[in-house]
Structure 1
């Protein structure tokens, strides 16, 4: 098979493949979690299935699969490189106590190499090196299965135990296909095993990476490259979590059944399929980039960061609107507002200083309407909501940028940042980003200074309320 599959074709192939293997295909859950106040957004494919991973019976059975839309803003500052996005789709399959490692690892290998057509020789993996402190053993079983698959494909299956990313950056893998890491290969919603909240499920995972030989290792990320290096030479395609533990007050207890929780990044798999380390060149994002080039007259090669941010953020804001979120200063609405405002700010770099959202939203709707018809059905509503916010913020942006330049002449402290936020409506996140972009120095303790101003304002407001009463 040639490496020409589009993201839409990969999504369809995955769901068909899993259905053939007895999985029930379930619809995507909204980006706003139901009955889960612990998080603002659906940030992983497993999140809507949490009760079933803990032991409840799912109405669809014990073999499930889907393509789940997700939103994560923890790494929003990373958007602009070749692989990070806030909005993404996870191809997922689950075994709720049915099969385990022996079936899961080969079926994902088969999907990636035979169905998608990825080159086996460019696939590398990682496994869990164990956690003696919590009584969790090294995952020799997964490594053994991977070793067998590599050997059957005519590939050397050397292994290396690295423990941490820091050590890996120092010594490298020396070409080993299978690398063992510690915390990096433990998966749960709350971080590593030490940080897991009580009641949370988790387990060791095995991660799949695709190597792009055209990307040279950047020594800024360490002397040697390895699977988890952030230089962009290796891109993680997905991981299989063997979710069999639950955090308790006494430590880790086995779950009622051993589960498989697989999540594969659709965009990254699609990028690998076209042999591009740049996920923005896939069919789910490239039409947005092309539209931005057309509207601005700028070239993607010259304005990669700005175009990537705009494409990602407007896509995320579109799905938030589809799922019922509107811009506001609280909770999910605040995050949506932040995405929109960052998109507007980066549009200035492209010379797009007039309202352009209505010219982008139809492109996004056209990309997704076939598989997610709700996007097409709500396109006009989304355009109206986002365009209104764009128009409002453009006035704020001009005033805020002008005032920030004035403050820069005498020095910018947390006090000035508070004035920009409180008086000019210019969010502190944008102020600090803008300062970095223009090499404007901020006071060393700007965050504390900003918080002091905010606390003083709140105290004053409270006094006024008390006097009024």
Structure 2
């Protein structure tokens, strides 16, 4: 089942249950949202979760592209991507978590054919402010799915203030042995679907007040689910990365961790540029600049002649089509090549700075901070420029 089939199955299942499909937004959140990028499908829906009527009704479904900078250092493992797609559903004051989890179980086991014995769930155990999520616990117990009760891991919020609530997460076993332990005890349990019972608003003082309506907000990671359904062990092996894994190794000889980072960061950079972001020293532009320069640092670590001009057009076309973007591939390529030229000038300046007597010995934290703050040289670049 390829990713397009997964999307169709998901959307049609919820449309048959009264959900209207809404168009996913770009990676740029609404102006009032403090985050740099859309990190989940709920960002564009915040006003409706807070009580404003949605023009398409109380039951919604969509596919949303997301970017999470908090996972940058984890990219390269089996589950984390910088830019990814999230399948989402919402009940805006309509049905509650029990119904949502029941549908989730049915879709996974009947629609996608997941063995129920490979499922594990988690649920909120309560804290000093709110009680335990007994409804979710009962849903899983009725279906024979093991449940782990946690507190911090099963409370979802959109930041220090705003909509929040307890959640129940669904995990799939990806190990080559029979399932064992629990999601917090074994990372072979991979989270694929989070159901948030969004009933509260956190205020500036940390207190909770009820939202005007009781919502359900769910998010299912498309690439993670596709990976499991396709019998793969890593998101970098699912079908959306097929052209990347076919074409990039033919350009550059890379070990597996480096190949994953290069594919993820270049793919993410194309999507970010496709949504209108340009490299800069702050904000969204800095995230894009960091992605591109991390790729260039890896590529030139073993061969300074490697460059982005060699990237095949197919990778640009495939990625832009995958994320439903209309920008011309040549326009995206130009942004990447312009940033590569800036990086080249930074490298030359970095070599000159590091040749100074002060930096010939071991570098201290003070040295690394100075090089970054004064000369714009990040520590991973400094290490790559130092003689081996």
Give TM-score, length-normalised by structure 2: 0.90
- Does the C-alpha gap of structure 1 residues 253 and 390 become closer, same or farther in structure 2, counting only changes over 3 Å? same
The DSSP-based 3-state class of the residue aligned with 1:411 is coil
Partner of 1:261: 217
The DSSP-based 3-state class of the residue aligned with 2:298 is helix
Partner of 2:332: 382
Partner of 1:207: 169
Partner of 2:241: 285
- Does the CA-based 8 Å contact 2:267-2:319 persist in structure 1? no
- CA distance in structure 1 between the partners assigned to 2:283 and 2:371 by the alignment: 21
Tell me, yes or no, if structure 1 residue 273 matches structure 2 residue 223: no
Pick the structure with greater CA Rg. Answer: 1
Residue number among 287, 290, 315 corresponding to 1:338 in the alignment: 290
Q: Aligned ranges for residues 31-430 of structure 1 at < 5 Å?
A: 31-131=27-127, 133-134=128-129, 136-150=130-144, 157=145, 177-190=146-159, 196-197=160-161, 200-214=162-176, 225-229=181-185, 232-248=187-203, 249=205, 251-298=207-254, 303-349=255-301, 351=303, 353-356=305-308, 359-360=311-312, 362-369=314-321, 372-375=323-326, 377-397=327-347, 400=350, 409-418=360-369, 420-421=371-372, 425-428=376-379, 430=381
- CA distance in structure 1 between the partners assigned to 2:305 and 2:241 by the alignment: 22
The DSSP-based 3-state class of the residue aligned with 2:27 is coil
- CA distance in structure 2 between the partners assigned to 1:178 and 1:145 by the alignment: 10
Q: CA deviation at 1:427?
A: 2.6
Any stretches of 5+ residues in structure 1 without a counterpart? 151-156, 158-176, 191-195, 218-223, 441-469
- Does the CA-based 8 Å contact 1:216-1:233 persist in structure 2? no
- Does the C-alpha gap of structure 1 residues 418 and 275 become closer, same or farther in structure 2, counting only changes over 3 Å? same
Q: CA deviation at 1:311?
A: 1.2
- CA distance in structure 2 between the partners assigned to 1:98 and 1:350 by the alignment: 57
Report which stretch shifted further, 206-215 or 411-420: 411-420
- Does the CA-based 8 Å contact 1:288-1:360 persist in structure 2? no
- Does the CA-based 8 Å contact 2:278-2:335 persist in structure 1? yes
- CA distance in structure 2 between the partners assigned to 1:15 and 1:387 by the alignment: 38
Runs of 4+ in 1 over 3 A off after TM superposition: 349-353, 397-409, 418-425, 428-432
- Does the CA-based 8 Å contact 1:232-1:277 persist in structure 2? no
Q: CA deviation at 1:405?
A: 8.7
Any stretches of 5+ residues in structure 2 without a counterpart? none
The DSSP-based 3-state class of the residue aligned with 2:325 is helix
Q: CA deviation at 1:251?
A: 2.6
- Does the CA-based 8 Å contact 1:358-1:383 persist in structure 2? no
- Does the CA-based 8 Å contact 1:313-1:340 persist in structure 2? yes
- Does the C-alpha gap of structure 1 residues 208 and 397 become closer, same or farther in structure 2, counting only changes over 3 Å? farther
- CA distance in structure 2 between the partners assigned to 1:66 and 1:178 by the alignment: 28
- CA distance in structure 1 between the partners assigned to 2:109 and 2:36 by the alignment: 36
- CA distance in structure 2 between the partners assigned to 1:36 and 1:431 by the alignment: 37
Give TM-score, length-normalised by structure 1: 0.76
CA RMSD of aligned residues (A): 2.8
